[in-house]
Amino acid sequence: MDFEYAIIGGGVVGLSIARGLSARGKRVAVFDGEDTDYRASRGNFGLIWVQSKGLQAPAYARWTRQSAALWRGFADELEAASGIDLALVQQGGWDFFFSEKSLHARASLYQGLADQLGERDDFEITDANKLKREEPAIGPQVVGALYGARDGHVNPLRLLQALGQTLQRSDSKYLTGCIVQSVRALASGFEINTANGPVRAQKVVLAAGLGAAILGPSLGFVAPVRPQRGQVIVTQKLSPFIRRPSGIIRQVDEGGVQIGDSNEEVGFDDSQQLSVMAKLAQRAVKVYPVLANASIVRSWSALRIMSPDGLPIYQESRLYPGAYLATCHSGITLAAAHTCLLPSWLEGEESAPRLEAFSEERFAL
Amino acid sequence: MREVDLAVLGAGPAGMRAALTAANSGAKVVLLDEQQVAGGQIYREVNRQGVGRGALLGRDYTHGLTWVKEVAASNVEHLAEATGWQIENSGEITFSRGGQAQQIAAKRIVLATGALERAFPFPGWTMPGVISAGAAQILLKGSGIVPQKAVLVGSGPLLYLIAVQLLAAGSPPLAILETQSFESYLRSARLFPAALKGWRYFVKGTQMLLNLKRAGVTRYTGVSEIAAVGEKYVEGIRFQFRGQKKQLACGLILGHQGVVPNVQFSRALGLEHGWNDLQRSFTPRTDHWGRSSEERVFIAGDGAGIVGARASALQGEICALQVLHDLSFINTAQRDNTAESRRKELAVELAPRALLDALYRPPDWAVVPVCDDTIICRCERVKTGDLRNLAAGACVGPNQAKALSRAGMGSCQGRYCGLSVSELFSKTNGRSLAEVGYYRLRSPVKGITLGELASLAVGEALE
Amino acid sequence: MKNALHFKRLSSDDPCLQITWNGKPLDAVAGETVAACLLANSVLAFQGEDLSDPPRGPFCMMGACYTCRVLVNGVEQQACMVEVKQDMHVSCVDPEKEILHAGS
């Protein structure tokens, strides 16, 4: 056997899992695709976000909170190992509102979740006056915000770089430009066929994002993931004026302001639509009016990997034990959990996190 | 949204001729251009020059005046100071004018956005005092500002032309450092017979060299290891010549390694491109009418591969003929009659191109710096060594490199690092340029403000 | 070489306009771009001159390289794309740490 684990997909999800396995001394091969593949790891917003997650699914809320809590330690270790500054800041985040009604409707959802989880002081309704003190650049149309103390953000590209770089320095292999054509279960272990020849591994983790839908069936998975487009705009570098991130605007450590996000069901189309970009810009200017004068430096769209209910899928194959599916649209938020907690689940340890709620069997009719 | 038959982007020779040809046959044409007056960079502000500056710049320059006047007198609607920043394959064009975003829907589009000077990265090239040679020419044409005691460095016919123009302006260059070597001449010698059809170019070239010689301008040929010397500003230039290290004191370095197609729009539109090894650049694929891989979009002039001003104008006309035919303004016979004579002229204009491309092909070290410390991405100050390390490691190509290094992420959107980064990957990983590819470019291709983009929002606002 | 004459105006006409650069008056000629005017007045670095960052000057003169950005009457623009006008106030921006000037 060439490797103990083959991880198909070298984005943040695959690399985070590989980091955790590699830290346990496992010999891992990560297979990654081409330069122009759909890559959510390159196009995402960089949030470590808790407040809106799992409002209808407490298990997901818990998993997210667990990961957010692990992030600092995960980042410290990764920074030390790679020498790369991840620009992690977890000092809370905003959800802005333009109407009192929608603010309070949302707040009651948050309260419901907090009660279910038994967590107190989970969020805070911040009125316009207080918000103005906290975020001096905020515009008059914002009536208030929900504050989530666990929210934060990170430089997702440096996270990707740090994960890739440290993996290369380990005993593991990071096989890039190496598209997996098929996977086959052997009597023992698996054979991964690539353009550069076959590789064998005892276990295989399918973390190929949207590609999981193609490779999944051969391993006994349905992998019901679909693309959901999100468009993002970045401005010129500016002196820091946004104190905390929100789901729609954040100032990155290099100074640019990143503006999102759209949720479009357009299939495998990662082009941009001007009408959507214009609305994103309009909303951003409403939140921080001073942004009207900022130059746009670049913009892009990327495809989220969405399951039918938006939650992650973690599943071991019933047909081929030793094959696992791991997919989610919150690879940044969940990176710490994927490194620190998922390996024990893959190894079938007693202490493994309970991930039954994320089985893909929940979608069975 | 306002509708037109044809929208032409860029009012250089290709754009002017395309617009005029279409408008003269009755098509409703809009010609968008960033500058205040038509002419493009080649005929920049040719209509504003007094007799003196025109004479100094030469007849190839003043030639453009006829077309600029024709545009002004025609039915072409020339939108000056209009910066296009988004085009959709459906034919919708969004542009800025006076800080206001506007839109036009066109049945056909001709991209005539011309060329950019090829980036020529060498140690110190980001210091104030290093500008492109084309920039020096634009200063001369547009603003009547003449560089003093400059050192010209690089390769290509434009280098001599600028030298002669500086001479005529009474400010001869301190020296010309030419990067083409004896091998360049050998390599291109076999192409000479075919190029003779375009003999006028050679007469002009020989005259230019003679003028420079008479004026006593020193030429160093086959130079290498160029570096700008200075603390924060240029104080001199260092180079290798005939096996010896030399240094000249100067405050101004004008670099030039030829021009390459400006692909910002053709890339942002997702048009098909191929690698043109002779011209050492990517070019959009077009048919012999200039039609791109998108039915509605045509490309004329240097933007589809470097051809020069006169050939660009002819290509503009040929594009317009097919546009007119598409939209039933002319029939097939009318199209083909005119096209045939234009193609004959075009063949003469293009005759010397292969020779010029071979002779002035930039040396490898002028495209991908040898020195790891040399900045390759000006905007984000990314060094060559950082990219080489990425390429030698697990990074598969320019787009992944952009994400990991920030090269190409800055304001110029890869205009001055894109080709170098692609070539670096090709060289380091032994993959062809076609395989390596290029940055994925996106709109807006020009830096507009968020407020301007927001002004285009229609319908219900986002929560 | 900072104070040597790098660019000369071709025209023998006297400069007829005045603009300011970082508050200091400069002579300008109608029809020239802001970038040309600064160069003719021996201003080679448009960005970062007084900062720890290495200074940057204009490079392409055709609106492509974006290294000539300056504030023109408080609005960031490419100096090579704007013509001088009487009493124009031009100043340096630090592109890395630009502070937005609200429209008010």
Domain presence at residue C42: yes
Candidates B39, B43, B41; CA nearest to B54 is: B43
Altogether, the residues listed in chain B come to a count of 463
Nearest by CB to residue A297, choosing from B92, B400, B447, is B447
**Does residue B409 contact residue B379 with C-beta atoms inside 8 Å?**
yes
| pLDDT over 90 percentage in chain A | 95
C-alpha span between B389 and B36 (Å, rounded): 44
Among A28, A167, A298, A300, the residue to mutate for chain B (most B Cβ within 10 A) = A298
Structure letter (DSSP) for residue A113: H
H helix or E strand, kind and range, residue A205: strand A197-206
Phi, psi at residue B274, to the nearest 5°?
A: -135, 165
**Does residue A317 contact residue A323 with C-beta atoms inside 8 Å?**
yes
C-alpha span between B79 and A118 (Å, rounded): 64
Among A7, A31, A34, A35, the residue to mutate for chain B (most B Cβ within 10 A) = A35
Give the residue numbers spanning the domain of C83: 16-94
pTM for this prediction: 0.95
Domain presence at residue C30: yes
Please write the tens of the pLDDT for every residue from B175-223. 999 998 877 777 788 888 877 777 777 788 888 888 999 999 999 999 9
Locate tokens 């296009």: which residue? B84
Average of per-residue pLDDT across B345-374: 95
H helix or E strand, kind and range, residue B147: strand B145-147
C-alpha span between A336 and A76 (Å, rounded): 11
CA distance B413 to chain A (A): 8
Domain presence at residue C103: no
- Residue scoring higher pLDDT (A202 or B58): A202
Cis peptide before A312 (omega within 30 of 0): no
CB atoms within 10 A of CB A169: 11
Altogether, the residues listed in chain A come to a count of 365
Q: Which amino acid is at B279?
A: Q
Please write the tens of the pLDDT for every residue from B251-297. 999 999 999 999 999 999 999 999 999 999 999 999 999 999 999 99
Nearest by CB to residue C55, choosing from B139, B142, B232, is B232
Tokens representing A198 are 């076959």
Reply yes or no on whether the pLDDT at C102 is more than 50.
Answer: no
Domain presence at residue C3: no
Categorise residue C74: left if φ over 0, alpha if ψ from -120 to 50, beta otherwise: left
3-state helix, strand, coil in chain A (%, to 5): 35, 25, 40
CATH number of C45's domain:
3.10.20.440
Locate tokens 């980064």: which residue? B421
Tell me whether residues A274 and B404 touch, CB distance under 8 A. no
Would you state the pLDDT for residue A119? 85
Number of domains in chain C: 1
CA distance A355 to chain B (A): 32
Tell me whether residues B396 and A34 touch, CB distance under 8 A. yes
**Contact residues, chain B, for C45 at CB < 8 Å:** 128, 232-233
Reply yes or no on whether the pLDDT at C98 is more than 70.
Answer: no
Residues 6+ apart with CB under 8 A from B95: B32, B79, B82, B83, B84, B85, B101, B102, B103, B104
Domain presence at residue C9: no
SS3 label, residue A203: strand
B–C: how many Cβ contacts below 8 A?
A: 135
Domain presence at residue C52: yes
**Contact residues, chain C, for B237 at CB < 8 Å:** none
Tell me whether residues C103 and A255 touch, CB distance under 8 A. no
Tell me whether residues A239 and C102 touch, CB distance under 8 A. no
- Poorest-pLDDT segment among A48-62, A109-123, B356-370, C37-51: C37-51
Residues 6+ apart with CB under 8 A from A193: A180, A181, A182, A183, A184
Cis peptide before A115 (omega within 30 of 0): no
> With the C-alpha atoms ordered B139, B141, B147, B149, is the resulting torsion angle positive or negative?
positive
SS3 label, residue B434: helix
Locate tokens 């818990």: which residue? A62
Q: Which amino acid is at B444?
A: P
- CA dihedral defined by B176, B177, B182, B186, rounded to 10 degrees? -70
Altogether, the residues listed in chain C come to a count of 104
Tell me whether residues C101 and A238 touch, CB distance under 8 A. no
Please write the tens of the pLDDT for every residue from A139-180. 999 999 999 999 999 999 999 999 999 999 888 999 999 999
Q: Which domains does chain A have, with CATH numbers?
A: 3-81+156-223+308-364 (3.50.50.60), 93-149 (no CATH), 226-306 (3.30.9.10)
Domain presence at residue C100: no
Please write the tens of the pLDDT for every residue from A14-53. 999 999 999 999 999 999 999 999 999 999 999 999 999 9
Burial class of residue A205 (count of CB atoms within 10 Å of its CB; 0-12, 13-18, 19+):
buried
Nearest by CB to residue C99, choosing from A239, A289, A292, is A239
Reply yes or no on whether the pLDDT at C104 is more than 60.
Answer: no
ipTM of this complex prediction, to 2 decimal places = 0.95
Domain presence at residue C78: yes
